[in-house]
Structure 1
């Protein structure tokens, strides 16, 4: 199994989403020596925001692109190749102003590309990135999975929507929520997320042994 881990929190070593997602990927890797892992750290190596050169370059034949167009389209090609090569994708983000991090949004902008990851046909759009299992690891200071604040969660609905549009419909969410509510809440949130990670890894080990 090829695993793609995408981290995006600006909090570095203090990031709960990066910690849990990294531990998740490492546990999947350890569970089967044949598994492989590719890590894309969007904070250490942020992707450029899409611009005019990108927007025109993706519709320009490769041989006719300017050097700048070739450069920015090449960035998109690399992240798309990483995505297509993966069997399992782990996306880690903090909950920032009710949505995903801007660095992860840039990643989405580079992978959501007409003719590569989706296409339009007689029956409408069709996602071309299929056969993937996706896990969203989302850390938030408050509780947004239930209760009155659920209306402010634009992160999970957005990711489910755009991933589904691209063909990735098998998506699970691992939340680390309430971490802004004190040390005990942090401990409980991390324990709950770790338990879910361990359950996923255990189930995959059982499936592999069957």
Structure 2
């Protein structure tokens, strides 16, 4: 489907070596940043279908969990999502990235992904929608709330959380009893 969609809008076929990201390949072909951004947004739109397998993205900065969660939902690398975030004024160093959901909503919207407008209090794992951004490790610092962003995914009978934290044995988590979500943002699947 992606190849058909790419041809339909005039994208050239993807002839990059298997180990090279599309954006790296386009840079090597001397594409400008605007062409690369448009290509990534097109790929996000084409690949963001309800049956697409979700893959973990590990954050490259201590406070980059929101960017990594967006990258996982969009099917991008961390570097590509970070570059898009930086272009729209979102930076991992900004503590409001993990103390306010507006930045993550804005980045996802830029990537062509909608989310619920309001946070929904977490009740149980069974009551979660098929795809959601979860706020875990919620705590107060100086009276201000902070949390760690993760992505909850239900694909058929399989349920898991994609956690971008670097030090984990595996970024795909199923230890639901250890995670303590405070609330979530639904990410519609379709």
TM-score by length of 2: 0.29
Q: Which structure has the larger Rg? A: 1
TM-score by length of 1: 0.27
